[in-house]
Amino acid sequence: MGHKESAFDSSRSCNGYLLESATNREVMLQPPAFPIRKECPPGACVCERELLLDDPQADLRILRLTKDEEKRLIERIEAIASYAELMRVGQRLQEQLGITVSILPGPNEVRTVRGFQIELAQRPGLCRKTRESIPAAIRRCLNAHPDIAFAILNANDLLSGL
C-alpha cells in the first residue's frame, strides 16, 4: 500500500544488463568497459566465451581482440622483419591479451617453415579461427624472412644433435 520502493528492492537495468537486487539474489555482471569480440556461430567454435563472461574472476583481456583488431594483428605479424621484433610481438600478446605463443622446431628435421611447431596456448575466449590465423601469419612471416627462421633454430640450439 504505501510501500516505498528502494533502489535495492528491484532489479535495475544498465545498458540491457541486470544489476544485483536484494529481492532477487541473481547477479548479472555489467559488460566490460571495452569493446569485445562478437560471439561465434553456435557449433562453429569452442572458445567458451560465455563461460568467460559469466565468471567474475575471469581474465577478459582475450575478448579485446575483436575481428578488426585481429586483422590488424595479422597484418602486424606479417610485417615483422627480425627475430627480436617477433619476440617483442609475442611478449606484447602475452601482456595485452594473455595469449602465449610458442614457436619451436619440430621433433624432426626442419626443412621448411612447416617444420616449426607454432602454437597458441589453449585458454577460454580464444577463438578457433584466431588459434589458426596467428600461426599461419607467423609462417608467412618466416617464409618472407628466412633469417628469422634461422634465428629461431639458433635460439633452440641448432647443433644439439652433434
3-class SS letters over the chain: CCCCCCCCCCCCEECCEECCCCCCCCCCCCCCCCCCCCCCCCCCCCCCHHHHHHCCCCCCHHHHCCHHHHHHHHHHHHCCCCHHHHHHHHHHHHHHHCCCEEEEECCCCCCCHHHEEEEECCCCCCCHHHHHHHHHHHHHHHHHCHHHHHHHHHHCCCCCCC
- pLDDT of residue 86 exceeding 70: yes
Question: 87 pLDDT band (50/70/90 cuts)?
Answer: very high
First to last CA, the chain: 89
* Predicted local confidence at residue 26, as pLDDT: 42
Please state, rounded to an integer, the average pLDDT across all residues of the chain.
Answer: 78
Between 95 and 48, residue with greater pLDDT: 95
Q: Model confidence over 26-68: pLDDT tens digits?
A: 444 555 567 778 887 777 788 888 888 888 888 888 988 889 9
